[in-house]
Structure 1
Amino acid sequence: MKYFKYIFQHLTVVGFFFSSVLLFSQNLKYREYDSILLNKPKEMGKNNIPREKIILWNKEMLEKMKKENYARGIIWAHINIANQSWNLGNAEESIKNLNIAESILHKNESEIDFFTIAKLYQEYSQAYYIMKLYDTGLRYNSKAGYYGNKIEDKDRKEKFLSYVYTLRANHLYEKKDLDSALYYLKQSSLLYESLSTTSQIANHYIEYQPNQNSAKIYLDQGMHIISTKKHEPNSYQISVFYYYYAQYFFKEKNYEKAIVYLNQALQYNKKLKTVDHTKNIYKLLISCYKNAGNLEKEKEYLEYYIKLKDSLENSHTKGVELSIKTIEREKTEENKSFKKTIFIYSTLVVSLILVLLVYLYYQNNKKKKVILESKEIISRKEDETKVLERRISGVHEDLIQLAKNNDISFLEKFHEVYPNVSQKLLVINPDLTKDNLAFCALIWLGFSSKDIAEFTFMQHRSVQIKKSRLRKKLNLGSDVDLYQFLKSLVDN
């Protein structure tokens, strides 16, 4: 028996060891997936690998995550595809992937970290910015900020919130809220001094609140970031910076230098093909060549611009249609949820009202029953009282008659009917005689001195003397009315 017990314990320890090793191994594998999905697309972007290839790589990772049944990995693959899609001007594909990611998030919410949730909503905000749906974009940007503030890693949180504030500023610029936009850009810069934020502050002073000197200060800071490779800016960020520098020279009417920086912007954006950004570069190039008098180049880039603009508008239209469907679906779900909530609360209210009505009905019946019982008791007591009164009245009349007849049984009968009178008197003075008690009984019954004198065959003066002696025995003054005293003693 001990041998089998030992084997069982040994197998339990071995099983626990292998399950722990398996769980640790699985967690390690998932952490590797997280790192790859987060960092690999960035590395590919820095190496100027075309966005189409980055999308293909993420699609391969998506299939792998599905086989592993790893929810966070699936979400990140969709987020990465969405990011590359809106950069390529394919808003419809971006929204489609984000919708799938969000549905997976809702099914596995307890397993998903705040950074992943925040990143998902930030990509939504970016896609809606590209589609010019700024109010919706701001709503998702607020969600991204809410979850971004919950990120535990301080460096990651600050870097992410910097990105959130920069995108928020972009939305606010489109809504003509310039002061708020600049405020968020500077907040972003305080958290993380990136080339992207520095470039946009420079652009604020070039385009929105023109101040070439202030713009130059921030452009010089941007050149310093590029030369020192601070925070390792990627090709897209450098391309955007050169585009803003070109705008600066355009304002200075130095069109040749502006064209040089625009060509550098195109060169850095060439492989990544951020379509919306390319369109902006073409538009400024057209203006530069027009002002420089180069009509041939102006026409060339005008053709590029029109072709790209048509393609983007077509994509944005599809994206907007999909977004409207998404918003309608959300509204439908909200309405369903609202109706369900109303139904639940209505049911509760109706149930409470019914319970209250039943309770009130029960209490009312109970009250009626108590009232009826009380009335019966009162009626019964009244009947008993009347009988008692008649009985007492009859007995009282007998006593009166015995007193008038000076009957020797008067005192005994008085004790039977009014026992407390003599008891109270004896408490005051235990030495009271039967004659004293009989005299007190006559007074208690309301007989006057004249009546007592008549019934007892005494002189009126003798009755007064007897009263005086009784007062002394009861310790009463001459001013005390004996009848009132005796009645107050036992008012029966």
Structure 2
Amino acid sequence: MRSIAYKHLLIFTFVILVSSVVCGNVKNADRIQNQSDTIVTHFQIQLRKAEHAGDTIKIINYKQKMIRHLSGIGRFHQAYDNIWSLLPLVQTDEFAIEKLELFQKLTGLYIIFEQYEKAGSYIQQSFDLVDANIEEENLKAYHTGMIKGQQAWLLMKQSRNYEMAEKLLLEKLRLMHQAKASRNEIRYTNLQISELYLDMFRTEDAGNLLRTIYDEVGEAPMQIHALLFHYYGRYYKQLSKNDSSIFYLQKSIETIDFYHIHLDKRIDDLELLSECYVAKGDHEKALRYLLESKMLSDSLFGSKSTLNKELFEIKDKYTLRLQEEERKFDAQRLELLERKNQVWLYKLLSLIALSILIITVLLVYFNRQASKLRNEKLLLKKEQELEKQKQNVVLEVKNKELMSRALQMLERDTILNDLTQNIADLPNNDKTIGELKDLANSIKIDKSKKWEEFEIHFTSVNSQFFKLLRENFSKLTATDLKFCAFIKLGFSSKDMSELMGISPDSVNTSRSRIRKKMGLDRQTNIVEFLQKLEIIE
């Protein structure tokens, strides 16, 4: 009788325990559900406003936020539906980054539902998308690192190839540093590595990483603490330090409940708490946490069941079929539009032909006008060149006349000088000779006055010559200008010496000085240079 009563007591205690766990779990699930529904409703309101405004960028942003939230609270099917509804909006190159993020979300869902082949397919598509559309070095490194992280996660779940997963995660960490990712993103990468080390039972390596992260983030509440405390709980459990493990697992649950994230880790936390209490011999708490874990898993994450996996695959096939039907409908609609547009095409071609004809006529007309204008300009240019050549010829003739006149003056002065000198040499024995000497003494050749007369005639013929010399060669003196005029007219050094009343050597010295002041090299002919000066200008 005592044995039967004892069994009844145990059954009654178990029923009471299960009932209390069920009630508590239902209340907690309802609270989480209500809070999540409020957030989802907010996103839906904002999404409707964006759709009404036709703002594609805002539609994509709100959809992405909703997908992240639904994934975080375990409503994977709704997240999956939103992903497929968003994919048509991000098919252009403009939204390559957004499309890549959706591929990564799909990959995560397929890994959760153990559809590893599809997950691998989307990982490869993600790599191809990065190679084809992202050129900026840091951005490419960042997204490549994120994909390698998912590749490592797939290996850990599918084949438990921990060595290859470790290589991929270390490569991801390197790429995150190369991309200058935020400290928080690098911490999450280190958390993923610590999870791998715990799976490999490299407990000490995992502990070192966790302590480094904990020293960086401190005690202030942050979302990262949900995972950090979870892995600390696993770490201390591997060390058989059950009290420390219980402490961090409970803190992980508190953080998950506060931020409404990583609800899959809440189930793991409850299971680990149950195992810790079994090790401590507290079977009542162990059973309580185990039942809570089971019921929470069934209520929030029942999509992990075999039936729901099949439903997920059916939905996947149905989505693909819808896409195929939509492609067929688009093809039919395109064919209909092509038929309707044939008439418009003919009209358009006629309009184009008429436009080409009009444009051709206008081009011929304007081309003729342009040709006429070019010919007129060419004729005017030739006339100007001929006029300039005529002026140069006239100038050359006048300069020759001027030179001839100057030479005649020089010859006359020479004759007078010789005559005066001969008279001066006659003996003074005759009255007539005395009168001749008086007459010879009265004849004086004023060279400065003759230069002034020469300059007036020269300037009238070569109006710009002296002006150009003064403007371009400011160091030339008045005497230098005289020499330049004589050189331009082609006077020899002997002629210039007689005109200037100096020796030929002085003339040559003056010519050298003038060349130096004008910066002329030895290859430049000073006569040709001065004769062309006015013409060049």
Q: Distance in 2 between matches of 1:253 and 1:328?
A: 48
1:133 match? 115
CA contact (8 A) 1:121 1:140 kept: yes
Q: Does residue 1:267 correspond to 2:254, yes or no?
A: yes
Judged with a 3 Å threshold, the aligned counterparts in structure 2 of structure 1 residues 163 and 258 are, in CA distance, closer, same or farther, namely: same
Matches within 5 A, 1:267-306: 267-273=254-260, 274-306=262-294
Alignment match of 2:168 (pick from 180, 184, 193): 184
Distance in structure 2 (CA, Å) of the matches to 1:234 and 1:124: 26
Query: In the TM superposition, what is the alpha-carbon distance from 1:240 to its structure 2 partner?
Result: 1.1
Distance across 2 between alignment mates of 1:242 and 1:158: 29
The structural deviation recorded for 1:63 is 0.8
For residue 225 of structure 1, what is the aligned residue in structure 2? 216
Shift, 1:334, TM fit: 6.8
Deviation at 1:70, TM superposition (A): 2.2
1:78 to 63, 69, 73: 63
Q: How far 1:156 moved relative to its partner?
A: 4.5
Measure, in 2, the Cα distance between the counterparts of 1:69 and 1:121.
Answer: 24
Task: Look up the SS of the partner of 2:114 in the other structure.
Answer: coil
> What CA distance in whole angstroms lies between the structure 2 residues aligned with 1:55 and 1:181?
35
Q: Contact between 1:166 and 1:185, CA under 8 Å: does it hold in 2?
A: yes
1:309 to 291, 297, 305: 297
Paired with 1:173 and 1:140, the residues of 2 have a C-alpha distance of: 17
- Paired amino acid for 2:264: D
| 1:204 has 2:187 as partner | no
From 255, 263, 278, the equivalent of 2:242 is 255
Secondary structure of residue in 1 paired with 2:110: helix
Match for 1:306: what amino acid?
K
Greater relative contact order (Cα < 8 A, sep 6+)? 1
Q: Is the 8 A contact 1:79 1:123 kept in 2?
A: no
Equivalents in 2 of 1:333, 1:83: separation in Å? Answer: 24
Counterpart mapping for 1:389-404 below 5 A: none
Segment drifting more, 127-136 vs 323-332? 323-332
> Which position in structure 2 is the counterpart of 1:427?
none
Shift of 1:260: 0.8
Query: Is the partner of 1:270 in helix, strand or coil?
Result: helix
Question: Is the Cα contact below 8 Å between 1:87 and 1:275 reproduced in 2?
Answer: yes
Determine what percentage of the aligned residue pairs are the same residue.
19
Amino acid aligned to 1:167 = Q
Question: What is the Cα deviation at residue 119 of structure 1?
Answer: 0.9
Matched with 2:152 is 169
> Of 234, 242, 246, which aligns to 2:229?
242
- Structure 1 gaps of 5+ residues are 1-48, 342-492
Asked if 1:324 is matched to 2:314, the reply is yes
CA distance in 2, matches of 1:186, 1:299: 39
TM-score between both structures, scaled by the size of structure 2: 0.48
Deviations 1:322-369, CA, capped at 9 Å, x for gaps: 44332354378679989x99xxxxxxxxxxxxxxxxxxxxxxxxxxxx
Residues 268-317 of structure 1 show CA distances to partners (whole Å, capped at 9, x for unaligned) of 11123332111111111111111111222212211211111212453345
CA RMSD of aligned residues (A): 3.1
Seen in structure 2, the aligned counterparts of structure 1 residues 57 and 336 have a Cα distance that, compared at 3 Å, is closer
CA distance in 2, matches of 1:51, 1:271: 12
Q: 1:228 to 1:253 in 2, by over 3 A?
A: closer
Return the alpha-carbon distance in structure 1 between the equivalents of residues 310 and 60 of structure 2: 22
Distance, in Å, in 2 between the alignment partners of 1:123 and 1:325 is 17
Give per-residue Cα distances to partners, 1:139-194, cap 9 Å, x unaligned: 22333333345345555544444333222221211112222211221122112262
Equivalents in 2 of 1:55, 1:329: separation in Å?
A: 23
Whole-angstrom distance in 1 between the partners of 2:209 and 2:259: 25
What corresponds to 1:91 in structure 2? 76
Do the aligned residues in 2 keep the contact of 1:90 with 1:319 (CA within 8 Å)?
Answer: no
Task: Encode CA deviations 1:215-239: one digit per residue, 9 max, x unaligned.
Answer: 222122222332399xxx951x321
User: Partners of 2:38 and 2:151 in 1: how far apart?
Assistant: 29
Q: Contact 1:249/1:255 (CA < 8 Å) preserved in 2?
A: yes
2:75–2:301 Cα contact (<8 Å) kept:
no
Q: Partner letter of residue 89 of structure 2?
A: I
Q: 1:390-412: CA deviations, max 9, x gaps? A: xxxxxxxxxxxxxxxxxxxxxxx
Amino acid at match of 2:174: L
Partner of 2:218, secondary structure, is helix
Question: Which runs of no fewer than 5 residues in structure 2 stay unpaired?
Answer: 1-33, 177-184, 332-537
Once the two structures are TM-superposed, the CA of residue 251 in structure 1 deviates from its matched residue by: 0.8
Looking at structure 1, the residues matched to 115 and 222 of structure 2 have their Cα atoms a distance apart, in angstroms, of 27
Per-residue CA deviation, residues 50-91 of structure 1 (Å, 9 max, x unaligned), is 554442332122112201212233233222222211221112
- What residue number does 1:124 align with? 106
**Count of matched residue pairs:** 284
